[in-house]
Every structure is written in C-alpha cells, then in structure tokens.
Amino acid sequence: MDVALLRERFPVLENTAYLNAGTDGPVAGAAIDAAEEELRAQLAIGRTAAHFERNSELKSQLRERYAGLLQADVQDVSLTTCTTEGMAAVVGGLGLVAGDEILTSDEEHPGLLGALAAARERGVTVREVPLARIGLEVGPATRLLACSHVSWLCGRRAPDLADCPVPVLLDGAQGVGAVPVDVRALGCDAYAGAGQKWLCGPDGTGMLYTTPELRSRLSVDRRGYGNMANPGDGLAARLHDDARRFDALGLNRETLAFALAAFDTLAQAGWTALHERAAALAEHFCELLGAAGRTMAAREPGTLVAFTSDDPPAERASLAAAGVVLRDVPGRPWLRASVGAWNNERDARRLVEALAG
Amino acid sequence: MDVALLRERFPVLENTAYLNAGTDGPVAGAAIDAAEEELRAQLAIGRTAAHFERNSELKSQLRERYAGLLQADVQDVSLTTCTTEGMAAVVGGLGLVAGDEILTSDEEHPGLLGALAAARERGVTVREVPLARIGLEVGPATRLLACSHVSWLCGRRAPDLADCPVPVLLDGAQGVGAVPVDVRALGCDAYAGAGQKWLCGPDGTGMLYTTPELRSRLSVDRRGYGNMANPGDGLAARLHDDARRFDALGLNRETLAFALAAFDTLAQAGWTALHERAAALAEHFCELLGAAGRTMAAREPGTLVAFTSDDPPAERASLAAAGVVLRDVPGRPWLRASVGAWNNERDARRLVEALAG
C-alpha cells in the first residue's frame, strides 16, 4: 500500500494527528468533490426525472459497495442514515412484548440502548451481561441477542455467536471498515454499520444487513417511494421484498456521492491491506502508550486503543490543542484513540509526546 | 417584491419554465454555496467537537425558521427527512389495534397511505372518504383523522377540521411554503411538511409539528444521540420532552445549511408576498389553460394547477423537450403545474404554447 498517497487524499492528516474515526472518519478531497458535483448539477438543471434516476443509481452503487465489504448479498443490505436507525428497525420491528427478553452486554452504545429502552417501556425484559460470556446467557425467554461486534468503549470483540439459538443483532459501528467482516461467518441475523466512521463517509449514512428469515418477521411503519415496490397502488402498495424495505427515505444525491467516493478512496488501497495496516499500527500505539506508563482498557486486535487517563476530558482538550484529536470515553477513566490505516508512526509519537505535556 | 431579483437567485429559471416545486423546488445558488462551505470545513479541520456543535447550531436555526412559518412554538417542531417520515411517526406511534379506525381521504399520497397500510396490517380499519366531507365522517371507532392539507393531486384543500373530536394529522407536503399555514388556526394535532418542495431545500429535509398532548401519546423506537435528553445514562436515558424526540438522527451539516440558505433566500422576499404572488400567478395559469381548452381538475386558491390531458406521460415528455418541467398525475388524466412566486407570466405562455405544439 502506498501510505503517502493514501494520506494525501485526506487533507486533515497534514497537520493533525487525527485519531477520531470511531466517531467520524477523516474526509477525503474526492468525497467533497463528488458531493459538490451533485449539488451543482441540481442548480443548473433543476430536479427533474433525471435527478431522481441519478439518486437511484447512486443508491444501487453504494449498496453494492457495502454488500461487498460485508460479504453479503446485495438484496440483504439496506441503506440507513446511521447505525442506530438500523438497530431500531430490528429491535422495534420484532414487536416483542412483556415476557420476552432481549439479552445484551454491559458495554453497549446509546444507539443500541435507546432501542432497548423503548422495548423495555413495552414490558420487554432487557438483561445486561458481560460481552465475553453473552453467548452462554441465552435463556428460555430470550427472543433476541443484541450486542457490539466491536465494543465502542475499548475495542473488545463479541464472542463467537454462530451457534446462538436466537436471532443475533450485531452493532457494527466499530466493525465494518475497521476490521474484516463476514456476516455469514459471524452467524448474525442482522448487522448494523456506520458510513461516517471507518468508511469516511458523510454524517447521515449507514447500512443494515438482515437475513431474509429475520426480515420477514420485522414490521415496517415508515413506507414511502423509497422502500415500496408499487407505491402508486394506494393501500395495496407493498414493501420491497428485499432489504430495500428498510432503506432510509431521505438520502440525497450529494450525501450518497460523498459516501461512494469516500468508499472508493479507501477501496483503491485494498481492504485487506487497510485492515492489516490499521491493526498493526494500533498495536504500535499500544506499545508506545504502554512504555509511557498507560494501561490499555482491553486490548484486542483491532483499531480502537482505549487507555487510562486521570482526567480524560482535560487530557482530551490539551491533546486537541496540540493537534491530536481523539475522544474520552464517557463514564470511564479512559481516552480512546481510533487508529486507521491513514494514520502513521508519527501520529503515535505525537500522541505520546502530547500526553507527556 | 423584486421578482427579477428573486428569479436571479435560482439559475434553473433562466432557461427553463420550472413548474416542479410540488415535487422538488428550484435550487438557489446561495443554498449550494452554503452546503459547499460546510463540506469544505470538514475537509480541512476534520470532524471534531466543533463539527458537532455546528450541526446542533444549524438544527436550532432551521427549527426556528420552520416553527415561524408554521406559526408554532419551536419546541413543537421536529426536523425530519421528509413528510412521509413525520406522518409515519404519528400513525405508527399511536399503537392503534384491531377495532380502531383511521379516517382518511380518497386522494392521499403514497407517503400517508404507506403508514396507513402498515396500520391496516395490524388490524386497524382504514376508511377512505371524499376529502371535502371528511370532517363529517368521524365515527365512534375513529381514533385518528389523517388527510392532506392541500391535495397533491389537484390542490384541493381540507375542510375546516378545527372542531374535529379526534386527533387530526395533516399532510402538509403541498401546504407549508406554498400557502399560509397557521397550525393553531387549522386546529390540527400534527402537521407534516417537506423541506425540498416549496421551501426549495435539499432532498432529505422536512418537519413535523405536534401538540404536546399528542406527542405524549406517541411511542418512539428510534433513539440516539440526536433525540435523547441524557443519552449517556444507558437504559435510563430519556427522550427529549419536546419535539426533538422525533428528530431524524442523521441530518448532516451540509444538508441543514442548504435548507437554511434556501429558506432565507425565500424569506428575504417576504412570505406574504410570496404566497400572494404564487396564488395570483396560479390563477393566471388557469385562465390561460382554460382559454387553451384545458379543464382544471379542481381549482382552489393555491399553487397546484392540475389540468386535463389526453396522454399525460407523452405530453409531459414533449413539454420537457420544450424546456417546460412539470409532472403527470399517476392514475388520472391530468398534468400538474406547480406555480411558485419564482415563476412568471412568460412561464405560463411557454406552457400553453408548448401544449399547442
């Protein structure tokens, strides 16, 4: 991989040690150019039939890209506006009631917990257990197992859930793009991912993979031109049979084109090479941080490096002032560096030096 | 109003008789500039805390603008991605069951019918009646009256529903921006509007007005950082008390800035002046079309002019070739011209001349 070339594509990297992809990835010049091209086209030509055809074309292309990266069939991939939206479609769509249980871990993101809280308001039991042993905790009332593929707090991985006897929903916000994902090998029934994090797309993009079996059990309230097979048929209109039924209704051309160009910028470098470089670099970050006296929160192979801090918000602010961008982990004494293939050894040194003051 | 100045702000108007705002409005140069500025800022600076603060700031500003135009309190207005999304939040959120009835009209848009079809799958009765008499049809099982404020087919207006004994949801996709709206005077409990039509915003923007009383009865499955008051509190996190609880989760800076600049471009001309000019101009279109032998589908004061055509798809295509952009009405022998204050008498002449061949 030509690392210098990859880094050049993301202008923010020139002056900043940008370690924030777990929130929002760096932005590629080509992605902004692509969005602007779509915007300008609307200005001169207006928004007529060709405008909507272009939107459909961009959606098809983005869906294919996402499906390829998930190793999924394209008809099983929905385009969402964020990971949270996809998880809510699954948790809410199951229509669980009092007496049913959802099993989750004790280190989940608000985007999943929000959907679980909504289910709890309808009387569903939500049981939180350690991520490492979640597969062993399935009980007779469990109707859904919902947890992180990669924990947003510290990078911990879900255990092998391929033989889980109930449907499995994985929160892949810190998975897809960061680490290799094969939805079939994971054995999950649903996998929700983000477009704006490790895929460097715009805010307001994401994906949801679902198996046909799970999909057929999920109700869908939001139905419009974007997700119905025959919207002109009034009350007799049906949802698309495939995963387009969960598509977000308002994805615009400029947002889609941004996502697509960002994806292709990364894909040019090769996903395997990106994943291997990011993992190796994250390991290097851990070594330097360890040598500097920091303890890792939970170190597993991957791209999130969470480490101890006596005052995370204050250290985050002083790092930002030194041009090192990362986040503190709410409620834990940790800072979290998101290490991508676009980072380098100098970023690691800058982090450690800025921490030393 | 300085019509020449208004028209200059929309480049598409220079060569095209653009009569398509009922689908998507013309795009202002200032709106594209604003979107591009937000995009470029992400490129150089990355997406850090300031990026998310900017997003919040733009959301507040857009919400204030929308609330002002609806004559609503700002805490009663949600930011959605489209009219359809807002209507689905109301229809789906009520949790109606078998034995309940939703009353609607026989000329509704797929965006409302989709939500009604979902309710029907849960056993709810959906009864379609003529729009003009819908207020008289409320029965003992009716739990919701849901219909157009202004019919998308022909511009017909909903009757006075201020004294309706059940909650009223209005589809305002052809209302807000096109005609004056006062949600209190309309007596509705919910009003869903579009950002991309008469407000000339980007695809993927819209609004939902709800009264606090109705809001308290609606469940919300989709919960994330964007609509919770205390997202860091795990399963104990609560939704915002106000209408932000229905906010779409993925609205990005560039989309918000586009919507805001488009709104302000129009607001500079003055809403009253815009509404009066559009209505008068639509009347002029009717006169010219009538003189040319066309019959209006249903002529009420407003901005949609639907008129007879022997072959709507073919005439639409030949009009497009002549630089006149409008749409055919699916399932009816009509063409529909959307007349905005940005149009002029020459656009009317071009339409009639192009129809004459």
Whether residue B215 has pLDDT greater than 90: yes
Whether residue B306 has pLDDT greater than 90: yes
The predicted pLDDT at position B293 comes to 97
Q: What is the CATH number of domain B3-29+270-356?
A: 3.90.1150.10
Q: Which long-range contacts (CB under 8 A, 24 or more apart) does B315-323 make?
A: B315/B355, B318/B354, B318/B357, B319/B351, B319/B354, B319/B355, B320/A48, B320/A49, B322/B350, B322/B354, B323/B15, B323/B16, B323/B17, B323/B350, B323/B354
Contact B223 A92 (CB under 8 A): no
Q: How far apart are CA B147 and CA B91, in angstroms?
A: 12
Contact A12 B44 (CB under 8 A): yes
Q: What is the DSSP string of A224-284?
A: STTTBS-GGGGGG--B-SSGGGG--S---HHHHHHHHHHHHHHHTT-HHHHHHHHHHHHHH
Instruction: Write out pLDDT tens, residues B115-161.
Output: 999 999 999 999 999 999 999 999 999 999 999 999 999 999 999 99
**Chain B contacts in chain A segment 131-150 (CB below 8 A):** none
Nearest to A288 by CA among A310, A305, A304: A305
Contact A114 B88 (CB under 8 A): no
pTM score: 0.98
Q: What is the DSSP letter of A333?
A: S
The predicted pLDDT at position B298 comes to 85
- Which of B113, B235, B258 comes nearest A117 by C-beta? B235
Instruction: Write out pLDDT tens, residues B102-116.
Output: 999 999 999 999 999
Instruction: Write out pLDDT tens, residues B239-296.
Output: 999 999 999 999 999 999 999 999 999 999 999 999 999 999 999 999 999 999 999 9
Q: How far apart are CA B48 and CA A326, in angstroms?
A: 8
CB B262 within 8 A of CB B10: no
The predicted pLDDT at position B299 comes to 76
Contact A110 B228 (CB under 8 A): yes
The predicted pLDDT at position B301 comes to 85
Contact list in B for residue A51 (CB cut-off 8 A) is 24
**Chain B contacts in chain A segment 278-307 (CB below 8 A):** none
Q: How far apart are CA B23 and CA B38, in angstroms?
A: 26
Contact list in B for residue A204 (CB cut-off 8 A) is 204, 250-252, 255
Contact A330 B232 (CB under 8 A): yes
Q: Does B104 touch chain A (CB under 8 A)?
A: no
Instruction: Write out pLDDT tens, residues A43-65.
Output: 988 999 999 999 999 999 999 99
Average pLDDT for chain B:
97
Q: How far apart are CA B88 and CA B116, in angstroms?
A: 8
Average pLDDT of span B84-97: 97
Contact list in B for residue A255 (CB cut-off 8 A) is 204, 252, 254-255
Which residues of chain B does CATH 3.90.1150.10 include? 3-29+270-356
A3-27+270-356 homologous superfamily:
Aspartate Aminotransferase, domain 1 (3.90.1150.10)
Q: How far apart are CA B18 and CA A67, in angstroms?
A: 38
Q: Does B5 touch chain A (CB under 8 A)?
A: no
Identify the CATH assignment for A32-266 out of 3.30.200.20, 3.40.640.10, 3.30.70.100, 1.10.3720.10.
Answer: 3.40.640.10
Residue A344, min C-alpha distance to chain B (Å): 17
Residue A307, min C-alpha distance to chain B (Å): 20
CB B300 within 8 A of CB B155: yes
The predicted pLDDT at position B95 comes to 95
Residue B21, min C-alpha distance to chain A (Å): 9
Pairing of strands B206-210, B77-80: antiparallel
Residue A60, min C-alpha distance to chain B (Å): 17
Contact B222 A39 (CB under 8 A): no
The predicted pLDDT at position B262 comes to 98
Which residues of chain B does CATH 3.40.640.10 include? 32-266
Nearest to B42 by CA among A194, A206, A344, A11: A11
The predicted pLDDT at position B202 comes to 98
Residue A104, min C-alpha distance to chain B (Å): 11
The predicted pLDDT at position A357 comes to 84
CA trace torsion A102, A103, A105, A111 (10° rounding):
-20
Cβ-Cβ contacts under 8 Å between A and B: the total is 233
Whether residue B27 has pLDDT greater than 80: yes
Q: Could you list the pLDDT tens digit for every one of the 357 residues in chain A?
A: 899 999 999 999 999 999 999 999 999 999 999 999 999 999 988 999 999 999 999 999 999 999 999 999 999 999 999 999 999 999 999 999 999 999 999 999 999 999 999 999 999 999 999 999 999 999 999 999 999 999 999 999 999 999 999 999 999 999 999 999 999 999 999 999 999 999 999 999 999 999 999 999 999 999 999 999 999 999 999 999 999 999 999 999 999 999 999 999 999 999 999 999 999 999 999 999 999 999 999 878 899 999 999 999 999 999 999 999 999 999 899 999 999 999 999 999 999 999 998
| Biggest CA-to-CA distance, chain B | 66
Residue A343 corresponds to which tokens in the numbers above?
């980072």
Q: Which of B19, B81, B126, B228 to mutate to test the interface with A (most CBs of A within 10 A)?
A: B81
Residue B276, min C-alpha distance to chain A (Å): 24
Residue A313 corresponds to which tokens in the numbers above?
């918000």
Contact A126 B248 (CB under 8 A): no
Contact B48 A117 (CB under 8 A): no
Which residues of chain A does CATH 3.90.1150.10 include? 3-27+270-356
The predicted pLDDT at position A298 comes to 84
Contact B224 A111 (CB under 8 A): yes
Q: Does B51 touch chain A (CB under 8 A)?
A: yes
The predicted pLDDT at position A301 comes to 85
